Amino acid sequence: MGRHLIQPSITRMCPKCGVETATERFAVHNRLGAAIGWCRQCHMTYGKEHARPRSYHYRYRYRHVSSEHSRAIKARHRARHPDRIYARNMITRLIGKGVISRQPCSTCGSPNAQAHHEDYSKPLDITWLCYDHHMAHHGRRAKRKGEAE
């Protein structure tokens, strides 16, 4: 019965601009449901003013994504591990030609398996392992989507 009563609008002063505005014009805290921080106009203005300078930091943080840097890393890897590259390429070509087919994981039977080489000098000697068992075999923990590194 009391839920349907219209309550008067509560006003609040924005600490940034000093203008008193209705509480509905403020950001709302997700868990508390209460108005917090600056008014929406101040939030928008602040975001526009500070978005450009921060973009440098994002570019620096994600610099490894750039194509030139990626190419350099891949070239270095190819130079250091030619046997690995040869073995992987051979398996990829043979799968593409239909000479060999992907097999289920030899440990759990999962259909999504990866070719694992114990010895890269024997490129056709492979074991089919799912991602989790492949990482376990190499002594690494499998990363899931959304997990922090």
Number of domains in the chain: 2
Q: How confident is the model at residue 41, as a pLDDT?
A: 85
- Between 79 and 12, residue with greater pLDDT: 79
Looking at residue 56, its pLDDT comes to 66
Residue partners of 41: CB distance under 8 A and separation at least 6:
17, 25
Strand segments (E) across the chain:
11-13, 20-22, 26-28, 35-39, 113-117, 126-130
Of 60-64, 92-96, 104-108, the least confident: 60-64
Q: Per the domain annotation, does 102 fall within a domain? A: yes
Is there a domain that residue 70 lies in?
no
End-to-end CA distance of the chain: 51
- Of 98, 103, 106, 97, residue with least CA distance to 133: 106
The answer to whether residue 77 sits within a structural domain is: no
Q: State whether 97 and 126 are in the same domain.
A: yes
The answer as to whether 95 is a domain residue is: yes
- The structure's pTM equals 0.50
| Chain centre to alpha carbon of residue 123 | 32
- Between 39 and 59, the more confident residue is 39
- Residue 67 — very low, low, confident or very high, per pLDDT cuts 50/70/90? confident
Tell me how far apart the alpha carbons of residues 18 and 74 are, in angstroms, rounded to a whole number: 55
Express as a percent the part of the chain with pLDDT over 70. 73
**Would 3 be classed as within a structural domain?**
no
Would residue 146 count as lying in a domain? no
Domain that holds residue 22: 12-61
- Helix (H) or strand (E) segment spanning residue 73: helix 67-80
Residue 68 domain flag: no
> Residue 24 domain-assigned?
yes
Contacts of residue 77, Cβ cutoff 8 Å, sequence gap at least 6 = 85
